[in-house]
Amino acid sequence: MNEFKDLDPILHSQLRLAVMSILISVKEAEFIYLKEKTNATAGNLSVQINKLKEAEYIEVIKQFKDNYPQTICKITKKGRKAFEEYVKAIQDYLKMGAKK
């Protein structure tokens, strides 16, 4: 294999990649938890979560808990597969770089 694969543009964003990295290791995460872990602003995180949702990489559940709105994010099968392929592509980049 000589060519560098294209990296998934959805995942090739620092904040979206951070969100996916968190979600890959937990069953689900609340918006506030993701906000704290990524140090993102609520507005920016909301935009990036919507992009991941539109790509069907995550599922977003909006509900109420103790009369307060709650947003929960879960990774989908498609999202897990895309994340694994992205990680493999990065590993391939690193291997090819080491060969030169």
pLDDT value for 3: 74
Count CA atoms within 13 Å of residue 84 on its CB side.
Answer: 8
Nearest to 12 by CA among 73, 72, 89: 89
Q: Which residues pair with 65 in a beta bridge?
A: 68
pTM of the model: 0.90
Q: Which residue did the predictor score with more confidence, 35 or 1?
A: 35
Residues 62 and 54: their CA atoms lie apart, in Å, by 15
How far apart, in Å, do the first and last CA atoms of the chain sit?
14
**Tens digits of residue pLDDT in 15-74:** 999 999 999 999 899 999 999 999 999 999 999 999 999 999 999 999 998 999 999 999
The string of DSSP letters for 31-49 reads HHHHHHHHT--HHHHHHHH
